Chain A
Amino acid sequence: MVMGPRGSGKTTLLKMLTPRALEAWVAPQASEVRRDIPFDAIYIPSDIHWEEQLRSLSSGFASLANGEALEATFSQAAVTINVLLAVVDSMFDIIKYKRLEASRPIEEFLEVVINGWRLGGVPPIAGAVREGLEGRFNELFILFRRLASTDTFEVNALPEWVLIDYSAATRLACTAFDNTFPERAGRKWALCFDELELAPLWLQNRVFRELRSTDQRFLLKLSTSPLPTVGKAVRAAHSEDYAVIRLWPHKKVRARDFPSRLAARIVADRLEGGATLAGFLGSSTVASGDEESYSRDSLTWQVFKELAEKDSSFHELLRARGINPQDPVTDNRRLRDQLLRKAKPLAHFRVAWLTGENSAGSRRVRTRKRPGLYHGFEDVLDIADGNPRWLITILRQLLRKWDERPERNLPLPPEEQEEVLEQTSELFLGFLRTLPNPRGGGELGIPLHELVEILGRAFEEHILSRPFSLNPVGTVRVEEGLPEQLLNCLRWAAEQGALIVMDPVEQGIDSGIEGRRLRLTYLLAPYFRLPLRAYKEAKLATCLRAGGLQDNKLEQMEFGYALES
């Protein structure tokens, strides 16, 4: 099971398993993978549009006496057509790309399929079988329209093909295919269900039940969101029956491995003369771990000194640990690691935005763009947060900036990098503002962008305004007992990549979000003036209140409209 937010590459990964994609793949390891891959993939597509079509189909029967039975039948019929179309496409791709030799006329194989799938009248030609299946979408829709305007209708009166089961029909076709092409005997078939979170619950349950399928010829490859709303069978499935691949950075996975290779490739392809990613973007001021940066008169030394002058809490911290605030340097390696290294990113941020303290000792925060804190290859990779779509978007903008420059010197100036990163951050928040509620995900207690803005404000306050701490609050833990509407919103935020689940369960998939530790995606860090670090956790409700969530809002979510009226 491949899990990840939007843009994390789930669909690309599943599609890459298909014979067509493997054939088109150009890479040093491609021919080896093509040869060794132990299955043939059948890619079954899904998307928001398809989800809405199935929802409309189901809701059309709501007023009928036997509406529930019809709803289930039609939903299953639509899924069956979709799966069988994928089966046909894959089989003919296999024949084409693997140049299989048939042991009997292909027409015989097609006759078996046509009979089994009740495609009466369709000639035994591959294209005709496909057309016959596609036509069934229309036929099913016509039936739907007719039945939805009648009072009652018996399921038994429907044409036989409407009742075909996708799994049985697939097995029938695969058996006939293997009998026709004996050279692939023994190879497995992989049913690849994409975007399973958009599928009807019955299908999610069914697919998970089939993880323990008795037919060993079939494998399942699934993709879904980080915290899908799943049915009972999914929750009950034994985690040893499946492996999970999470496409976002979390405690077990570094965010820079794949993205750095992808970014290096994009930059090398685009720039001449063997340019590297580090050459194009330089190194981050904040993230670079250069030992020299802690020496006297270094930039970091100056930052510490300046901050100690305008932030008495930092001054006090240095003094208490035996470091002179006027000359913040030490030869003690342990002290440097435990204090200065940890303080460095926070000190940079506070120096950039604090103007000083008022008479009561509170820190004053100013608004300022381009603080010089987000640039360099490390920051670009971290801000993309392991999401290939975001990384590609950012790199395209950076390369465009470079194209527009009269001089082609490398690296691209930090202020131009920062402008791109800030704009991308704002654009993502704009995207969250315009995003509608999820279908079937339940009511959101609070608009998604508001949740994100409240958390961002709370973290910003801890990092910039409160007394200096080496580990300020920068993440949240979702406590038990929060309103379901708020949990829906968190789930939706994770699906969009706005919130990152830092500690997914070790085995299997998370059946809920309670107990999980979350952080804002680093893509939003430039907007909220946050360092690219995961700091200490606090309870979610505490953070929401600190970030300005209205009084009683959580209670209102709990009790619906009772308190509003």
Chain B
Amino acid sequence: MPWKASSVRVSEVEESDLMTEPVDLFLVSSGYEERASYSASRLSQLVARRKVALAFTDRKHELCRLDNDRELSRLGFELIEASGASGAAAVNAIAAAAQESSEGGCRVLVDYSCMTRVWYAAIVTYLWQHVDKHLIVDFIYAPSEFSRPSPARPNKYVEALEGFSGLSSPERPTALVIGLGYESDRALGLVNYVEPAVTVAFLSDPALDERFVEATVEANRPLLRSLSEEHIVRYPLGSLRATAALLESCCLGLLKDHRIILAPLGPKPFGLLSMLLASTHIGIEVWRVSAGEKDNIKSRKALGKILCAEVEVIAGLG
């Protein structure tokens, strides 16, 4: 089994291109957010050998959950119950698709818009652990309409994401690369806790809705004020390829002299790109910051766009 992929190819795909070829598996999630079934409905003409919706074991009756279950069933998705804290169901679905696919390889479409970080982290981990399966995964994301952030809650847990930890000499200084979110002072708390030698903040600007930029800047004003301009990287959320290139360039520059922690606190695509980068480089870790179990729930509505990153993991080290 390889332990790090040697490279990951990330390319942007137009929505129309997704429909041109059948896929082996279309994997989505069903939860309380309105946008959970958005891409499944929008891509209803897509030919998929198997359609699976991972249905959260909790909050089964809250907000739009029942509507999503109904809509996804109507679209031909098999609902499989899964705990948000375990990536096993997501991995099992992909492993089964890979097993049943032709020798030419396997193509999977994953809508991670409403998945937990644990789920898509497990998928990324599976990808680099099974490069021999010739898997290509199209990760699709339905951005949400703008809504005000929930009231700030203190960070409770700060830790490496399972499968994305590392081991390196503590004599090397730590570089903390944060994908800023719009929850107040979450990033600042992380900086205060880790006390890194270098902090780089990735700010989604331009975002798909300018109000996200304003809210993110507002929520992180003290931190942004403390950083020099070259340590604030603005990335275009609409272009995953450009964002991946910016992130890689930043991290590779730091990697020579630092241990790197990637902390994606903002939009999920940044989290996905962080995991993909960490899966190819020794010395890059991905950490999660969480306020604990009592997350405030909110029904986010899809903005009406789909962002797609086609990911192929190539070879690996022995």
Within 61-113 of A, Cβ neighbours of B (below 8 Å) are at: 78, 81-82, 85-86, 89
State whether the Cβ of B224 lies closer than 8 Å to any Cβ in chain A: no
Within 391-443 of A, Cβ neighbours of B (below 8 Å) are at: 427, 430-431, 433-437, 439
Contact digits for B157-168, partner A, Cβ 8 Å, 1 yes 0 no: 111101001111
Q: Across the interface, which residues of A come within 8 angstroms of B261, CB to CB? A: 49
Query: Would you call A137 and B159 a contact (CB within 8 A)?
Result: no
Cα distance A141–B166 when bound, in Å?
A: 7
Of B154, B174, B192, B222, which contacts A49 at CB under 8 A?
A: B174
Of A55, A60, A138, A146, which contacts B282 at CB under 8 A?
A: A138
Q: Across the interface, which residues of B come within 8 angstroms of A431, CB to CB? A: 188-189, 192
Chain B's closest residue to A46 (CB) is B170
State whether the Cβ of B33 lies closer than 8 Å to any Cβ in chain A: no
Query: Would you call A146 and B1 a contact (CB within 8 A)?
Result: yes
Q: Across the interface, which residues of B come within 8 angstroms of A33, CB to CB? A: none
Q: Across the interface, which residues of A come within 8 angstroms of B282, CB to CB? A: 138, 141
Within 107-165 of A, Cβ neighbours of B (below 8 Å) are at: 134, 137-138, 140-142, 144-146, 149
Cα distance A228–B157 when bound, in Å?
A: 20
Of B129, B155, B160, B165, which contacts A435 at CB under 8 A?
A: B155
Known: A436-B155, A436-B158. A82 touches B170 (CB 8 A): yes
Of B159, B160, B167, which contacts A140 at CB under 8 A?
A: B167
Residue contacts A-B, CB under 8 angstroms, 10 given: A52-B158, A53-B160, A82-B169, A144-B167, A430-B222, A434-B185, A434-B186, A434-B188, A434-B193, A436-B157
Cα distance A46–B156 when bound, in Å?
A: 22
Contact digits for B254-284, partner A, Cβ 8 Å, 1 yes 0 no: 0000010100000000000000000000100
Query: Would you call A141 and B167 a contact (CB within 8 A)?
Result: yes
Query: Would you call A85 and B157 a contact (CB within 8 A)?
Result: no
Instruction: Tell me the count of chain A residues lying within 8 A, CB to CB, of chain B.
Output: 39
State whether the Cβ of B194 lies closer than 8 Å to any Cβ in chain A: yes
Cα distance A49–B194 when bound, in Å?
A: 7
Q: Across the interface, which residues of B come within 8 angstroms of A437, CB to CB? A: 156-157
Minimum C-beta distance from B194 to chain A (A): 6
Q: Across the interface, which residues of B come within 8 angstroms of A447, CB to CB? A: 154
State whether the Cβ of A477 lies closer than 8 Å to any Cβ in chain B: no
Q: Across the interface, which residues of B come within 8 angstroms of A53, CB to CB? A: 160, 165-168, 285
Instruction: Tell me the count of chain B residues lying within 8 A, CB to CB, of chain A.
Output: 36
Cα distance A85–B289 when bound, in Å?
A: 31
Query: Would you call B195 and A435 a contact (CB within 8 A)?
Result: no
Chain A's closest residue to B317 (CB) is A142
Known: A52-B159, A53-B168, A78-B167. A435 touches B174 (CB 8 A): no
Q: Across the interface, which residues of A come within 8 angstroms of B192, CB to CB? A: 431, 434-435
Minimum C-beta distance from A531 to chain B (A): 28
Q: Across the interface, which residues of A come within 8 angstroms of B285, CB to CB? A: 53
Q: Across the interface, which residues of A come within 8 angstroms of B167, CB to CB? A: 53, 57, 78, 137-138, 140-141, 144
State whether the Cβ of A25 lies closer than 8 Å to any Cβ in chain B: no
Contact digits for B181-200, partner A, Cβ 8 Å, 1 yes 0 no: 00001101110111100000
Q: Across the interface, which residues of B come within 8 angstroms of A55, CB to CB? A: 159
Could you tell me which A residues sit within 8 Å of B by CB distance? 45-50, 52-53, 55-57, 60, 78, 81-82, 85-86, 89, 134, 137-138, 140-142, 144-146, 149, 427, 430-431, 433-437, 439, 447, 449
Cα distance A431–B195 when bound, in Å?
A: 12
Cα distance A166–B190 when bound, in Å?
A: 32
Q: Across the interface, which residues of B come within 8 angstroms of A49, CB to CB? A: 170, 174, 194, 259, 261
Chain A's closest residue to B129 (CB) is A149
When A and B form their complex, which 4 residue pairs have the shortest distance between CB atoms, in order from nearest?
A434-B189, A56-B165, A50-B170, A436-B155
Of B168, B169, B195, which contacts A48 at CB under 8 A?
A: B195
- Most chain-A CB neighbours within 10 Å: which of B129, B169, B282? B169
Query: Would you call B259 and A45 a contact (CB within 8 A)?
Result: no
Q: Across the interface, which residues of A come within 8 angstroms of B222, CB to CB? A: 427, 430
Chain A's closest residue to B259 (CB) is A49
Known: A49-B261, A53-B165, A138-B282. A86 touches B3 (CB 8 A): no
Minimum C-beta distance from A60 to chain B (A): 8
Query: Would you call B174 and A47 a contact (CB within 8 A)?
Result: yes
Minimum C-beta distance from A289 to chain B (A): 37
Q: A52-B160, A436-B193, A439-B159 are in contact. List 13 more A-B contacts (CB 8 A).
A: A45-B169, A47-B170, A48-B194, A52-B165, A53-B166, A138-B282, A141-B3, A141-B282, A146-B1, A149-B129, A434-B189, A436-B155, A436-B158
Query: Would you call B195 and A56 a contact (CB within 8 A)?
Result: no
Minimum C-beta distance from A146 to chain B (A): 7
Cα distance A60–B167 when bound, in Å?
A: 13
Chain B's closest residue to A133 (CB) is B169
Q: Across the interface, which residues of B come within 8 angstroms of A141, CB to CB? A: 3, 166-167, 282
Chain A's closest residue to B185 (CB) is A434
Minimum C-beta distance from A221 to chain B (A): 17
Q: Across the interface, which residues of A come within 8 angstroms of B287, CB to CB? A: 52
Cα distance A188–B261 when bound, in Å?
A: 38
Contact digits for B279-309, partner A, Cβ 8 Å, 1 yes 0 no: 0001001010100000000000000000000
Q: Across the interface, which residues of A come within 8 angstroms of B152, CB to CB? A: 433
Chain B's closest residue to A138 (CB) is B282
Known: A48-B193, A55-B159. A435 touches B154 (CB 8 A): yes
Contact digits for B123-160, partner A, Cβ 8 Å, 1 yes 0 no: 00000010000000000000000000000101111111
Query: Would you call A146 and B3 a contact (CB within 8 A)?
Result: yes
Cα distance A433–B156 when bound, in Å?
A: 10
State whether the Cβ of B171 lies closer than 8 Å to any Cβ in chain A: yes
Q: Across the interface, which residues of A come within 8 angstroms of B156, CB to CB? A: 436-437
Minimum C-beta distance from B121 to chain A (A): 13
Minimum C-beta distance from A424 to chain B (A): 13
Query: Would you call B154 and A434 a contact (CB within 8 A)?
Result: yes
- Most chain-A CB neighbours within 10 Å: which of B159, B167, B171, B190? B167
Cα distance A46–B289 when bound, in Å?
A: 21
Minimum C-beta distance from A496 to chain B (A): 10
Minimum C-beta distance from A482 to chain B (A): 22
